[in-house]
Amino acid sequence: MSEILELPVLQSVPQASVGLRSAAVQALQQGHVLLFPQLDFATGADEQRAMSAKVSESDKNISFDPARGVLRGSIATPADQQTLADMLRRHGDSTITLLDGLFPGCKTGRHQGRTSFRPAEIAGRVSSGRKDDSRMHVDSFPSSPTQGRRILRVFTNVSPNGPSRHWRLGEPFEAAAKRFLPQLPAPPPGLAALLHKLGIIKSRRSACDHCMLELHDGMKADVRYRADVAQIAHTFASHCSWMVYTDQASHAAMAGQFCSGADLDR
């Protein structure tokens, strides 16, 4: 089972002990979740005012691309969009500070991806099976192939009113892969090149990308698997943060609202 490792870490962590760093690395590599119950991402009055379920054009995410300075998915006023963009840029920067403090030797090859804001309540949300994150899965992004890079994400429950975020954690990656990979279809010849040429995906899908996407879809589609697989529930309280390789840890987001998530290594 994926587990939770609770770490007494605040935002400034350059003094993190060798033992703490070693425990954090080992837990992440084993597919566990690092929980920082004292690590908050403080939001100002203007940011809290702009945080509303009505600021998203869909029922899911608003995303900010720090490389281009572009906010996508919001239907808020221009002023509130700028507030949200500034907030997500600041959250992404703060997670880099956290990563540098915990893992000072891991800066080479690191890539800062998008930071997202999830304003809508998960429970009761209607979506397609493939997009339903309340179904147990590992992450894989159809339009953004990683080409073998990992998906390390830091989340913070930024809900100003206190609702918790509820997850379920499932079996180790190796067990899920052993169960699903033998039955996954091979990629159709030429499909990856065609999708990239048409602009449907941002880069060429590798064999790894294909397998991970099929694994993601297969886990979500298998009703018996979702009902029978061993899993544990965990509640992430307001104003806490957590870090996990979401392409390794089987997880499902069951309920919660107002969560910010930063991709640190893609």
Specify the pLDDT at position 20. Answer: 83
Sign of the C-alpha dihedral computed for residues 97, 98, 101 and 103 taken in this order: negative
Confidence check: pLDDT of 1 > 90: no
More confident residue, 184 or 60: 184
Q: What is the mean pLDDT of residues 239-262?
A: 94
pLDDT digits (tens, 9 = 90+) for 2-41: 789 998 876 656 566 788 888 899 999 999 999 999 888 8
**What tens digit of pLDDT does each residue of 199-240 get?**
777 778 888 889 999 999 999 999 999 999 999 999 999 999
pLDDT of residue 17: 79
Average pLDDT over residues 72-88: 92
Q: Pick left, alpha or beta for residue 127 (phi over 0 → left; psi -120 to 50 → alpha; otherwise beta).
A: beta
pLDDT of the residue at 4: 92
In this predicted structure, the answer to whether residue 144 has a pLDDT above a threshold of 60 is: yes
Question: What single-letter amino acid sits at 178?
Answer: K
Closest CA to 154 of 94, 230, 219, 110: 94
pLDDT higher at 242 or 55:
242
Domains belonging to the chain, first-starting first, are: 4-265 (2.60.120)
Q: Which of the residue ranges 112-121, 172-181, 201-210 would you say has the lowest mean pLDDT? A: 201-210
The tokens describing 4, both together, are 């939770």
pTM of the model: 0.91
Task: Please state the rounded mean pLDDT for residues 97-113.
Answer: 82
pLDDT of 197 over the 80 cut: no
